[in-house]
């Protein structure tokens, strides 16, 4: 019997040792694969925009991850900043992703950034991922008017005989004024139409430009004008005829 037990004891010890090693290995593998997926880059939406007046622009941050090969809305996880807070600033503590022009100036290619630690569980690691966008604030915005204008997109390319469509956003500051919309500065022989041509309160209108068949190739800057009892506001977009 002692001989049998002597043979069993080394076998049990070896089995326990193997189990311990396998358990430790699995634990390590689990730790390595169970952490936060690596955030590789951030897409900021809208990527570029032109505004006139003082409309509020709502930004979104989309995170792109390596490990899971997925995307995720991380708008509420990032820190929002602009390169010129004297002109535009994320100043609403309730909505950190709301960018509010102050009406104190104008400029183009104003930088908008969204940044966050690559590993949210260890922000002290020092690795930060940054997403960028840009915007332009029209000069002479007429801060006395009670509404703002913006366009998405701000630039389109169209060939003679085709159409270009801009989504115009009207955001009022107070009340429900009626804003009439017009556009000028079209390529030769081109026509344009708003749908609708006037809006009441904060709303949207679609601007469709039909490029004339004889239009000369080049870059044009149609000027959109919104008017109500408080005054007028201009917003310039870009149309490239190819």
Convert the pLDDT of each residue in 63-117 to its tens digit: 998 766 788 899 999 999 999 888 888 988 889 999 877 766 777 888 999 999 8
Q: What pLDDT, on a 0 to 100 scale, did the predictor assign at position 29?
A: 34
Strand partners, 129: 116
Phi-psi region of 218 (alpha: psi -120 to 50; beta: other; left: phi over 0): left
**Helix, coil or strand: residue 7:** helix
- Phi and psi angles of residue 211, each rounded to the nearest 5 degrees, phi first: -75, 130
Query: Is pLDDT at 5 greater than 60 in this prediction?
Result: no
Rounded to two decimals, what is the model's pTM? 0.52
Longest dimension (CA), the chain: 108
- Number of neighbouring beta carbons within 10 Å of residue 42: 21
| Average of per-residue pLDDT across 15-23 | 39
Percent of residues, the chain, with pLDDT higher than 70: 77
With 0-12 CB in 10 A as exposed, 13-18 as middle and 19+ as buried, what is 129? buried
Q: What pLDDT, on a 0 to 100 scale, did the predictor assign at position 86?
A: 81
CB 152 within 8 A of CB 49: yes
Q: What is the pLDDT of residues 201-215, one digit of tens each?
A: 889 999 999 999 999
Q: What is the pLDDT of residues 30-46, one digit of tens each?
A: 333 445 578 889 999 88
Strand partners, 192: 209
- Residue 216's pLDDT band (boundaries 50, 70, 90)? very high
Report residue 20 CA to chain centroid gap: 50
Q: Which tokens belong to 153?
A: 């997109």
State which H helix or E strand residue 206 sits in: strand 203-210
Q: What pLDDT, on a 0 to 100 scale, did the predictor assign at position 11?
A: 41
Q: What is the pLDDT of residues 139-156, one digit of tens each?
A: 654 445 778 888 989 899
Q: What is the pLDDT of residues 122-132, one digit of tens each?
A: 666 668 899 99
């Amino acid at each position: 019997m002692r001989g049998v037990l002597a043979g069993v004891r080394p076998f049990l010890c070896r089995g326990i040792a193997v189990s311990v090693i396998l358990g430790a290995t699995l634990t390590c593998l689990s730790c390595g694969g169970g952490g936060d997926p690596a955030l590789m880059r951030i897409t900021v939406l809208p990527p570029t925009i032109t505004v006139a007046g003082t409309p509020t622009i709502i930004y979104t941050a989309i995170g792109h991850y390596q490990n899971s090969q997925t995307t995720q809305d991380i708008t509420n996880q990032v820190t929002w900043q602009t390169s010129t807070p004297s002109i535009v600033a994320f100043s609403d503590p309730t909505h950190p992703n709301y960018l509010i022009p102050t009406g104190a100036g104008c400029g183009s290619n104003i930088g908008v950034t969204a940044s966050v630690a690559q590993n949210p569980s260890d922000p002290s690691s020092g690795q930060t991922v940054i997403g960028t966008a840009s915007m332009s604030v029209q000069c002479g915005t007429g801060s006395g008017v009670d509404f703002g204008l913006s366009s998405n997109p701000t630039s389109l390319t169209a060939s003679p005989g085709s159409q270009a469509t801009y989504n115009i956003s009207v955001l009022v500051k107070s009340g429900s004024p009626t804003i009439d919309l017009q556009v000028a500065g079209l390529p030769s022989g081109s026509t344009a139409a708003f749908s609708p041509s006037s809006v009441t309160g904060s709303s949207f209108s679609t601007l469709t430009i039909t490029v004339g068949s004889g239009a000369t190739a080049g870059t044009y800057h149609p000027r959109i004008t919104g008017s109500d009892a408080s005054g007028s506001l201009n917003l310039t977009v870009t149309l490239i005829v190819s």
